[in-house]
Structure 1
Amino acid sequence: MRFSLGQVLSWRMRRQFLDRPAETPAETIVERLCGVQAQVASAAELAVAVRRPAPGDSGTDPALERRSLIKVWAMRGTLHLLTAEDAPAYLSLMAAPRTWEKPSWQKTFATTAQMTAIAEAIREILPGRTLTREQLTAEILERTGDDALTGPLGSGWGTVLKPLAWQGYLCHGPSDRNRVTFTSPGTWIDGWTGLPEPDEAAVRVIPAYLGAFGPATTESFDQWLIRGMSKKASLRKWFTGLTRSGVLTEVEVDGRSAYARTADLDDIAAAEPVPGVRLLPAFDQFVLGPGTREEHIIDPERRPLISKAAGWISPVVVAAGRVAGTWEQTDSGITVQLFAEAGPVPGDDLAAEAAHVAAIIGCRPGLTVTTV
């Protein structure tokens, strides 16, 4: 089956709730987007809020409080909001390559023996408790007796703790003022059943990804998941199995081969453009899902303006399913920088969207527009 790029981009806009349907809970948005990156908490809140029709509370904090959302290190090793129901499957695929057992990782951070000792300590320490990083580090050091772990455990990057999160032993708890806390998902989430086997997890995660960012290639999925570090044989097995079972279908998008969910084919073919303009926050899944190297979303020459140093992903202007510029909050309100090659962006639509976002974030409603 063949699709035009226009059909695909229009379908993705609606699948990612950029048409702002009414009565969409935060959990539904997070589930559909396959998680929301939460390294910057305000960006995660805004990612949910801009997908709702009226300015107001994003709903992420109440969802975290009732534990229907969980905050945990997941895709690409970054902090995410995930639904409590979906988190085990995503974590299973993150753990599957066992990247922390690679010699280069061990040489830089901790040996396999040290990671095993940390895991054993955490499994004893965290169930039923919520500890700050400092408290958790102190108890791990006491149990392991390995002072060499002091530096790695205390690092704000959490590198040696991430593999423990991927194995389902650790997640973030509620903030203690300005301090991060950790707890065990096994006692934090009611009904937590542990991680499924990777083959079982893939049956859930791959269709979910394609349901928001498809049609897509196996490479795009793997880059989004774990920066291309999945075992290639496993990827082939998962996608082949889902295709043979009828869950996925191989399609063409402007001559390029990709996979789509079979259930979505008719909707993609019938997709109509989403009118208007959208201002999306930093680290938005619209960009992260397909990846910043996806030239159908981001012009390659503009990528340095989107993907910046230290992993920063800029807030973007979206028109006709593509990134048409960037924006930022300033003292005067919203400042937009449009890309000339993206074509004209309706001024009235841009002004309306800027006013909408300004109301959400509580800044001045002024709009300044430049074109580069």
Structure 2
Amino acid sequence: MVRRVGALLATDEGSAELAVGARRVRFQSGELGQALADGEVIKVFAFRGAMHYLSPEDGGAYLALRAAGRQWELASWHKYYKLGAADWPAFRESVREALEQGPLTITELGAAVTRKAAYRHLRPVFDDGAGTLIKPLMWQGDMSFGPLRDGQHTFQRLANIPRWGEVWDLDEAGRYAIMSYFRSYGPATHDHIHYWLGEGLSAGRKRLQGWLAQVQGQLVAVDVDGDTAYVLSEDVDALMAARPSEAVRFLPGHDPWVMGPGTKDEHVVPLAHRTPVTRKANLVIAGGVVSGTWSRKGGEVAITWFEANGAPPRQALDEQADRLATMAGQPLRSTLQVV
């Protein structure tokens, strides 16, 4: 599932689990954490600098795009961390050596790395969490988040994950990431690509335009409400055979359903309802469109349905509330408000 959506936001484990559970017939709490421990997914700083789950197979492509800006070579980076571009390879090697025997907390990693005189000045940085310092170490494929230990994040070598390959060649990664986006979210426009890979990974507009030109022969233009969008040529038949759905789903805030195309895409997020979506409200999706929100407090699920979408589909809403209760492992009473 993580590979299918490209990237899954991991800043809230409960929301990440709900996003997975909503797309599977059966799901038990804790499966996502177990998948991380088993190396079936990786967790890294990726899109918009936030923690995301990626597949080990595709992660190297997205990290290549994120690393393209080479943040660690900036003068401001050198000034703040006292690490120049020439110092960076040796620092990376020290981090990899520290993680060779297994996952470490940030405190443990800092203690190991700053034993060397060259990095002693970084001890306060590690004591403060080292959030910015460690991001490029993930983008370059040196490390990722490991399993939680007593509620604390750990960090592990990516090379120790069997399904991990390496950070991809940049041009190969760019073409692949674009094709993967159309496969997951097409029909899509070039603006969608710039949003997902440009704004999301800082891949660079000029690079993206070049890669789009290179894959254009594998795309087919289609009309979407008067706008030109594109799908993979291999997906055209499936698109033409598709029929509108009235399915209702409860999704967490910032679910890939809205973050993939972006909250500015009015085919998915009507303009009148964009504010709660950007503020990470839990979503009621009907027919693929944001049609309401939901919240859970204790044993109650409060559902808000947007009146502009017509009469609320009460049976479908009740079924989703029951599914949420199953995932939560406790009975939940639902209430409905139309606004």
SS in 1 for 2:20: helix
Question: Is 1:203 aligned to 2:175, yes or no?
Answer: yes
In 2, Cα distance between the equivalents of 1:289 and 1:110? Answer: 37
Q: Pick from 142, 160, 172 the counterpart of residue 133 of structure 2.
A: 160
Question: Is 1:343 aligned to 2:315, yes or no?
Answer: no
Q: Pick from 25, 29, 35 the counterpart of residue 7 of structure 2.
A: 35
Q: Pick from 234, 245, 248 the counterpart of residue 277 of structure 1.
A: 248
In 1, Cα distance between the equivalents of 2:239 and 2:126? Answer: 47
What is the Cα deviation at residue 322 of structure 1?
Answer: 0.6
How many residues in Structure 1 have an aligned counterpart in Structure 2?
337
CA offsets 1:280-323 (integer angstroms, 9 cap, x no match) = 01331111111122222112232221212xxxx22100001111
**Structure 2 vs 1, CA of residues 316 and 89 (structure 1 numbering), >3 Å: closer, same or farther?**
same
SS in 2 for 1:174: strand
**Structure 2 vs 1, CA of residues 107 and 302 (structure 1 numbering), >3 Å: closer, same or farther?**
farther
Name the amino acid aligned to 1:359: T
SS in 2 for 1:175: strand
8 Å Cα contact 1:76/1:225 also seen in 2: no
CA offsets 1:89-117 (integer angstroms, 9 cap, x no match) = 12111112224445566667776447555
8 Å Cα contact 1:275/1:320 also seen in 2: yes
SS in 1 for 2:290: strand
Q: Which runs of 5+ in 1 are unaligned?
A: 1-28
**Structure 2 vs 1, CA of residues 63 and 332 (structure 1 numbering), >3 Å: closer, same or farther?**
closer
What is the Cα deviation at residue 196 of structure 1?
Answer: 1.4
Question: Is 1:290 aligned to 2:261, yes or no?
Answer: yes
In 1, Cα distance between the equivalents of 2:136 and 2:206? Answer: 22
In 2, Cα distance between the equivalents of 1:169 and 1:148? Answer: 21
Alignment of 1:1-372 (within 5 A): 29-54=1-26, 56-57=28-29, 59-102=31-74, 112-113=84-85, 118-143=91-116, 145-156=118-129, 158-187=131-160, 189-190=161-162, 192-227=164-199, 229-244=202-217, 246=218, 248-308=219-279, 313-372=280-339
**Structure 2 vs 1, CA of residues 194 and 332 (structure 1 numbering), >3 Å: closer, same or farther?**
closer
SS in 1 for 2:94: helix
295-304 or 280-289: bigger deviation: 295-304
Please, what TM-score do these two structures have when normalized by structure 2? 0.90
Q: Which runs of 5+ in 2 are unaligned?
A: none
For CA contacts below 8 A with separation 6 or more, give which structure has more relative contact order. 1
**Structure 2 vs 1, CA of residues 153 and 251 (structure 1 numbering), >3 Å: closer, same or farther?**
farther
Partner of 1:14: none
Please, what TM-score do these two structures have when normalized by structure 1? 0.82
8 Å Cα contact 2:36/2:146 also seen in 1: no
**Structure 2 vs 1, CA of residues 155 and 317 (structure 1 numbering), >3 Å: closer, same or farther?**
farther
Supply the RMSD in Å over aligned alpha carbons. 2.4
SS in 1 for 2:159: helix
8 Å Cα contact 1:46/1:58 also seen in 2: no
**Structure 2 vs 1, CA of residues 153 and 215 (structure 1 numbering), >3 Å: closer, same or farther?**
farther
**Structure 2 vs 1, CA of residues 89 and 58 (structure 1 numbering), >3 Å: closer, same or farther?**
same
In 2, Cα distance between the equivalents of 1:104 and 1:305? Answer: 36
Name the amino acid aligned to 2:131: G
**Structure 2 vs 1, CA of residues 169 and 320 (structure 1 numbering), >3 Å: closer, same or farther?**
same
In 2, Cα distance between the equivalents of 1:252 and 1:102? Answer: 43
In 1, Cα distance between the equivalents of 2:164 and 2:181? Answer: 22
290-299 or 248-257: bigger deviation: 248-257
8 Å Cα contact 1:77/1:226 also seen in 2: no
Name the amino acid aligned to 1:342: N
Name the amino acid aligned to 1:268: L
8 Å Cα contact 2:8/2:256 also seen in 1: yes
What is the Cα deviation at residue 371 of structure 1?
Answer: 2.0
229-238 or 155-164: bigger deviation: 155-164
